[in-house]
Chains A and B, each alone.
Chain A
Amino acid sequence: MTKSLTIDAKGMHYTPLNRQIREAVANGVREVTVNGVLGQRFIGSGLQGDATITIHGVPGGDLAMFMSGPTIIVHGNADHAPGNTMDSGKVVIHGSAGDAVAHSMRGGKIFIRGNIGYRGGIHMKQYEEKRPILVVGGAAQTFLGEYMAGGLLIVLDLDETMHACGIGSGIHGGEIIIRGDVDDASLAAGAKKVPLTDEDRKRIAPVIREFAGDFGLDPEPLLNADYTRIVPASARPFAGKYTWE
């Protein structure tokens, strides 16, 4: 039997709230529902194990920071940097999120149905089997994938409202895949567009199916859409800018 717990977080400070969640998961609770969330930071931060945390409300910044394993589902918007340096697990946000989403993320998945702010995916990274994935249903803002060092960042721009520029500023690893065409002027120095190959399309298909499934979307039009793939122009895009050799 799955043990479950419901917490009313109305008016609660984030410290006792996070302590309660950590203790519950450590004691084998698999389903934690947190109601009345408003602005509490660090929810699920450093949390380890196999549990699902369902949040009703608007959590504060650094949701799921350093998290390793659990799934967090947010029925609302999130603030700055959800998934900051997240290790593994999954974050599903049914609303939008603020700036620096997936900041330095090193593994796991973040799915956001709405829009994200500036600097989405800043310094995402990868190492051996660790390969973080960020998928945005709506639009991303300027400096998407800034200093990106690894991982996969997909923007579906479902409402076709995206006006980001400076995309991939300082990118030196990983890939950014955006539905539709991306104007060359929107790319930062150091980023380049390449065609999405059939192998690429096969590779992202399961991610898109999972995203569509989580949000009740029809995956077929998304699987067959045109995409722009953006990768680093070189492994050291600023070799001549900050160093002399």
Chain B
Amino acid sequence: MCGIFGVMDKRRQMMDGSGIRQALSMMNERGSGEGAGYAAYGIYPEYQDCYALHVFFDNACDGKAVVDAMLEEWGTIEHDEVIPTYDQPNLRATCTTPWRYFFVPDPSLAPGSASPERDVITSLVMRINANVDGAQVVSSGKNVGVFKASGWPEDVANFYRIEDYEGYLWLAHNQYTTSNPGRWEKPDPFNLHDWSVVENGKITSYGTNRRYIESFGYTCSLETDSELITYVIDLLVRQHGLDIDLAIRALSPPFWEDIDLMPEAEADLNRALRLAYGSATMNGPYTVLAANPDMMVGFTDRGKLRPMVVGECGDRLYVASEEAAIRAMEPGVESITMPAAGEPVIGRVAP
């Protein structure tokens, strides 16, 4: 059991983090006070052409010198600084320093790639997270950042003063920790350049899915579901060119007996997806909320073992574990629905 929340403004109207903080804290009962986090798109307009790398440095190691050298080898650091934080007595103690780099990767280092900058970023995130002691990249996209720590949602929000950030798309997560409490990089969200993910649930097919994604060169160092899901979505959407609705159908496909009842062309497409992406299919109970700069998507497992409530109000799309979280931010919400299992909710930002 975890609490997840997402809001997107289709016209990129900015929302500061205070409403998101309030919404997430409505679902405190869904967490255990050991992890919470926020991801926001649109927060770094002054560096919007740079990839913003949020990195957690363990003060006991000298990871920063190694990361600095790697970034300078693979591109240009336009600016870097400590992420401002404000001590909260109730956060679980750590010796972590959250740092941010505004980085321009050198596209000539990924020749032949259709998206060379993202390939460089992907490669850097894999190398740093797997190999550099005391350094974990928790987000790495343009104009986006992940803010998380071990504690209750309000304490984490206050630690970063989340209300000082303004974004047009936010994801938030209140974790019910089942393993490794205390490590600040563990809670959701996780982000890799475009995509950010929060999840309520547990992917029981984690091992199969991990072996699949690692065969394409991704390395799952954090060993969290959100890290895995982020990589699988990046593979299917960016590298394989699937539309997001097909990618979700690959992750959370209809049951074989339901495919048999579909019209022939639709059944053929679904059979092909299941056969091609059988090892990417996620089992277990989950609700996943994912976002990139242009969209927010939510979907549940096929057996619907986790809740997902969708709210709409004007240009705003909300997805949450509980209706109360949506109403905390949008008391006059115009529509509340609970989509069927496996049926994705896809909201797109106006171009």
Contacts and interface: CB of A to CB of B under 8 A. Distances in A.
Contacts of A80: 307
Interface string A91-124: 0000010110000000000000001011100000
Contact of B26 (A39, A61, A117): A39
B323 A118 contact: no
A99 B341 CA distance: 12
Given A79-B322, A142-B341, A38 B307 contact: no
A105 to B, nearest CB: 19
Nearest to B300: A118
Given A38-B26, A60-B29, A118-B341, A79 B304 contact: no
Contact of A39 (B304, B307, B325, B340): B325
Contacts of B64: none
B324 to A, nearest CB: 3
B339 to A, nearest CB: 10
Contacts of A117: 304, 307, 338
Contacts of A39: 26-27, 322-325, 327-328
Interface in B313-339: 322-325, 327-328, 336, 338
A141 interface: yes
A99 B323 contact: no
A98 B338 contact: yes
A10 to B, nearest CB: 11
Nearest to B29: A41
B336 A163 contact: no
A142 B339 CA distance: 12
Interface size of A as a range: 20 to 34
A142 B340 CA distance: 9
B304 A38 contact: no
Nearest to B302: A142
Contacts of A61: 322
A77 B336 contact: yes
A58 interface: yes
A38 B340 CA distance: 24
A58 B304 contact: no
Contacts of A79: 307, 322-324
B304 A141 contact: yes
Interface string B137-172: 000000000000000000000000000000000000
Nearest to A97: B338
Contact of A99 (B26, B307, B324, B328): B307
Contacts of B340: 141-142, 163
Given A38-B26, A118-B304, A58 B324 contact: yes
Contacts of A119: 304
Contacts of A143: 303-304
Contacts of B325: 39
Contacts of B29: 41, 60
Contacts of B338: 96, 98, 115, 117, 141
Q: Output the residue of A38, A96, A185 with the most chain B CB within 10 A.
A: A38
Contacts of B324: 38-39, 58, 60, 79
Contacts of A98: 307, 309, 323, 338
Interface in A63-110: 77, 79-80, 96, 98-99
A77 B323 CA distance: 9
Interface string A19-48: 000000000000000000011010000000
Contacts of A142: 304, 340-341
Interface in B217-233: none
B251 to A, nearest CB: 19
B299 to A, nearest CB: 14
Contacts of B26: 38-39
B86 to A, nearest CB: 24
Interface of B: 26-27, 29, 261, 303-304, 307, 309, 322-325, 327-328, 336, 338, 340-341
24 contacts: A38-B26, A38-B324, A38-B327, A39-B27, A39-B324, A58-B323, A61-B322, A77-B323, A77-B336, A79-B307, A80-B307, A96-B336, A98-B307, A98-B309, A115-B338, A118-B304, A118-B341, A119-B304, A141-B338, A142-B304, A142-B340, A143-B303, A143-B304, A163-B340
Given A60-B29, A77-B323, A79-B322, 11 more contacts: A38-B327, A39-B26, A39-B322, A77-B336, A79-B323, A117-B307, A118-B304, A118-B341, A142-B341, A163-B340, A185-B261
Interface of A: 38-39, 41, 58, 60-61, 77, 79-80, 96, 98-99, 115, 117-119, 141-143, 163, 185
Top 6 closest pairs, chain A to chain B, by CB = A39-B324, A118-B304, A39-B26, A38-B324, A117-B338, A58-B323
